[in-house]
Chains A and B, each alone.
Chain A
């Protein structure tokens, strides 16, 4: 079942490339201290290496503080991927719990939860985040994950609720109820496995979105605090110098684009593979 899903997901060349990119990023982030040529925070030579163009020593060049850009981008992948993976895990958990509660309870509980979600969805996410994060002078990784996670489960809860309602209409659910299956087992054995597909797709697509949001926040100056390398912050810091030193903005920007596109292609491929009508 699972092996079959992987084969179908990676059927197209696009998906294979996306999978390769995502694996490379994850591996690179994991092995950052081993593979990076320089310390991402060390100012190597403020006189000689300030804003050095890309070269064999510094593939992506250096920034205005003579820090190696390649090393900073690889370490930046750590932050981006960690923030994205953890926030998405949190948001998927919240969304699944709320969606399950709404879909299984029905009636007033359902109506109340879904109106709450409607209300929360009506607030633009970036503005909501800016307002919440403005309360803290210094933003740590756990805080950022927490805030991103609890502000991005709204869509997922709706999706899960809809899937739960669909599963409840299917005859095997009635059959399981008629056999006296307990509510816990109904959720674990019958509801969750059948809503897992859409949840996985939502998670994969969500990672790309969160990376964009995190970069956006860093760009606005309310991301992870300096000097921790973050792609959004790197672009923000290069605003005044990018005309003369294009590499300071181009490579972090490229990193964001490639990562987001890779996750989104992979999410689409997963969705197609999970769609029973496609096979």
Chain B
């Protein structure tokens, strides 16, 4: 099976008044056709910047390093411009965003926003576009799609709005769907509905999905593999089951411990001390060491490599180093 998306050494920085912010630093990962990969981490760890750089949606202030490669179906998206880039956006790689209410244009009907994407990529007439849009609304579980076609976004609930976003994203049958926190702005019950909808549609249409979230519970049920980000780097990547069963990186472990569980009685939920440092001043050595409960002396000075810990699995931590037994 050939790789669908292959991101290698993605590095993005912003020059801010407070100095250079290294938002994404040497991120590499791949997504195979039909696969779901979860990208997990706290706010400010670089998840969204990573997602936006794939479709080249970052604004002018973001600088992507020349060595970064974003290969989709064998083509480096970083070399595409103008029409070629537009032909990928929405048609081959589609994206849905965190806030459905803000991601829909308030002055246009839902129908127009779906047909707009269809017209952008397919040579179809108005009538065919309308029929297809109504089919899509039906597909994403919106009742009375004929009526909703003429509705304005503010006439729909948050869950319905996100379904519309999904309908737009799926309109041209993309190979890859990037979902950036698709359920964060929604109620818990609606979250579950949207996630199961995404899961069903993904299976039905055979597309791959990159699921970005801060919620490990979301990836547990959805993802085949998970990459955990911290401080602009992927600190651990593993097949989902293995990640949950035996996390290698103390950060992953700490994230898992911070999930409330019914089978474990505690007075206090363990939290990770401190907060993510600003991207303008990552700590030396391992970026997680100031907050790490298992830090070694070398962690403050030497940045750990990504140590392989099995097939499809690595951790950026000295504890995972093969010579750990022999280490000082």
Q: What residues of chain A have their CB less than 8 Å away from a CB belonging to chain B?
A: 1, 106-107, 170-172, 174-182, 185, 189-190, 193-194
Q: Which residue of B lies closest to A173 (CB)?
A: B105
Report B81-121 CB contacts with A as 1/0, cut-off 8 Å: 00000111111001101010011111110001100110111
A-B contact pairs, 11 of them (CB 8 A): A172-B102, A174-B97, A175-B103, A178-B89, A179-B168, A180-B88, A181-B116, A185-B120, A189-B108, A189-B112, A190-B108
Q: How far is the CA of A193 from the CA of B105 in the complex (A)?
A: 10
Provide the residues of chain A in CB contact with B99, threshold 8 Å.
171
Check B45 for interface membership: any CB of A closer than 8 A. no
Q: Please state if B90 and A180 are interface contacts (CB–CB under 8 Å).
A: yes
Q: Please state if A189 and B116 are interface contacts (CB–CB under 8 Å).
A: yes
Q: How far is the CA of A70 from the CA of B121 in the complex (A)?
A: 61
Q: Please state if B121 and A180 are interface contacts (CB–CB under 8 Å).
A: yes
Chain B min CB distance to A176 (Å): 7
Q: Which of B103, B116, B152 contacts A171 (CB 8 A)?
A: B103
Q: Which residue of A lies closest to B119 (CB)?
A: A185
- From known contacts A170-B102, A180-B117, infer whether A175 and B86 are also in contact, taking CB-CB under 8 Å: no
Q: Please state if B105 and A194 are interface contacts (CB–CB under 8 Å).
A: yes
- From known contacts A174-B57, A175-B97, A193-B108, infer whether A180 and B91 are also in contact, taking CB-CB under 8 Å: yes
Chain B min CB distance to A111 (Å): 13
Most buried by A among B88, B102, B105: B105
Provide the residues of chain A in CB contact with B89, threshold 8 Å.
177-180
Q: Please state if B104 and A175 are interface contacts (CB–CB under 8 Å).
A: yes
Q: Please state if A182 and B120 are interface contacts (CB–CB under 8 Å).
A: yes
Provide the residues of chain A in CB contact with B140, threshold 8 Å.
none
Provide the residues of chain A in CB contact with B317, threshold 8 Å.
none
Provide the residues of chain A in CB contact with B55, threshold 8 Å.
178
Check B60 for interface membership: any CB of A closer than 8 A. yes
Sample of 12 more A-B contacts, CB < 8 Å, known A179-B95, A179-B168, A181-B117 = A171-B99, A175-B95, A175-B165, A178-B94, A178-B95, A179-B120, A180-B86, A182-B120, A189-B105, A193-B105, A193-B108, A194-B105
Chain A min CB distance to B175 (Å): 14
Provide the residues of chain A in CB contact with B97, threshold 8 Å.
171, 174-175
- From known contacts A107-B60, A179-B94, A181-B116, infer whether A1 and B87 are also in contact, taking CB-CB under 8 Å: no
Chain B min CB distance to A1 (Å): 7
Q: Please state if B107 and A1 are interface contacts (CB–CB under 8 Å).
A: yes
Chain A min CB distance to B42 (Å): 21
Q: How far is the CA of A176 from the CA of B87 in the complex (A)?
A: 13
Check B223 for interface membership: any CB of A closer than 8 A. no
- From known contacts A178-B55, A189-B112, infer whether A172 and B104 are also in contact, taking CB-CB under 8 Å: yes
Chain B min CB distance to A243 (Å): 56
Q: Please state if A180 and B87 are interface contacts (CB–CB under 8 Å).
A: yes
Q: Please state if A185 and B116 are interface contacts (CB–CB under 8 Å).
A: yes
Provide the residues of chain A in CB contact with B169, threshold 8 Å.
179
Chain A min CB distance to B130 (Å): 16
Q: Please state if B95 and A176 are interface contacts (CB–CB under 8 Å).
A: no
Provide the residues of chain B in CB contact with A185, threshold 8 Å.
116, 119-120
Q: Please state if B116 and A176 are interface contacts (CB–CB under 8 Å).
A: yes
Q: Please state if A178 and B116 are interface contacts (CB–CB under 8 Å).
A: no
Provide the residues of chain A in CB contact with B104, threshold 8 Å.
172, 175
Q: Please state if A181 and B105 are interface contacts (CB–CB under 8 Å).
A: no
Q: How far is the CA of A177 from the CA of B121 in the complex (A)?
A: 13
Q: How far is the CA of A106 from the CA of B88 in the complex (A)?
A: 24
Q: How far is the CA of A178 from the CA of B178 in the complex (A)?
A: 10
Q: Which residue of B lies closest to A178 (CB)?
A: B95
List B12-68 residues whose CB lies under 8 Å from chain A.
55, 57, 60
Provide the residues of chain B in CB contact with A190, threshold 8 Å.
105, 108
Q: Which of B90, B108, B152 contacts A178 (CB 8 A)?
A: B90
Most buried by B among A177, A179, A185: A179
Q: Which residue of B lies closest to A169 (CB)?
A: B59
Q: How far is the CA of A106 from the CA of B59 in the complex (A)?
A: 11
The 6 A-B residue pairs whose C-beta atoms are closest, nearest first, are: A180-B90, A179-B90, A180-B89, A171-B102, A175-B103, A193-B107
Q: How far is the CA of A196 from the CA of B95 in the complex (A)?
A: 28
Q: Which of A107, A171, A182, A194 contacts B86 (CB 8 A)?
A: A182
Q: How far is the CA of A133 from the CA of B81 in the complex (A)?
A: 47
Q: How far is the CA of A209 from the CA of B88 in the complex (A)?
A: 48
Q: Which residue of B lies closest to A193 (CB)?
A: B107
Report B229-260 CB contacts with A as 1/0, cut-off 8 Å: 00000000000000000000000000000000
